[in-house]
Amino acid sequence: MKVIIFKVQNENYGIDINRIQAIEHNMQIRSVPNAPKYIKGLVHLRGEIIPVYNIHYKFGYQDNAANDNKLLIARVHNSVVGIEVDEVKEIQEFDSQDVHEVPEILNGTETSYMQTIARLNNDLVIIINPDTLFTKQELTQIELAVKSGQDNVTAV
């Protein structure tokens, strides 16, 4: 399994590299009035309007106030979403003996995004399934934010 490892707060997470279309830095994120807290805003990238998801909100962390944003542009179901992270670390290939199932006690609605857990040296990486990162309601709201913001976002 080959994943892009990134940090949110001081924790390591990863997403299968096949789900990532691009890694972008310092994008101008346009806010969307009245959008839910988990929608950071919209970006215009290569002619496409892409919603930016606030993963800090999902994980219960304080929002990242840094000006130099880092976005993982990921395929989620039939959409493309930017996921704002604190740091993009590396691309890592894991052997099967380093990848473990999520412990049963962690399986639940609030942690359904956890696909597997990988061991990297003396640390752990939570591998995220982008398709289960968002609830159906969040996906609907993301689509609505894109539709309402398309006329307001211009090329940068």
H helix runs in 18-126, sequence order: 55-59
Q: What mean pLDDT do residues 125-143 have?
A: 85
DSSP strands (E only) in the chain: 2-8, 11-16, 20-25, 39-45, 48-54, 70-76, 79-85, 87-93, 99-100, 114-120, 123-128
Residue length of the chain: 156
102 is written with which tokens?
């999520």
Residues paired with residue 43 on neighbouring β-strands, in sequence order? 50
In this prediction, residue 150 carries a pLDDT of 57
- C-alpha span between 136 and 144 (Å, rounded): 12
**139-148 pLDDT per residue, tens:** 787 777 667 6
Q: Indicate the pLDDT class of residue 2, thresholds 50, 70 and 90.
A: very high
Tokens of 98: 């380093």
Q: Closest by alpha carbon to 153, among 67, 74, 82, 63?
A: 82
- Which amino acid, 108? G
Look-up: residue for tokens 């000006």? 67
Evaluated on CA atoms 137, 138, 142, 145, the torsion sign reads positive
The model's pLDDT over 47-101, given as tens digits with 9 standing for 90+, comes to 889 999 888 888 888 876 666 789 999 998 888 999 999 999 999 999 999 999 9
Domains of the chain: 2-149 (2.40.50.180)
On average, the pLDDT of the chain sits at 86
pLDDT (tens digit per residue) in 31-41: 888 888 888 88
Across 116-120, average pLDDT: 94
How much is the average pLDDT of 1-28? 94
pTM of the model: 0.85
Q: What is the pLDDT of residue 67?
A: 64
Phi, psi of 19 (to 5 degrees): -95, -10
pLDDT (average), residues 120-132: 93
The answer to whether residue 21 scores a pLDDT higher than 50 is yes
Name the residue with tokens 């976005």. 71
Residues 9-22, mean pLDDT to the nearest whole number: 95
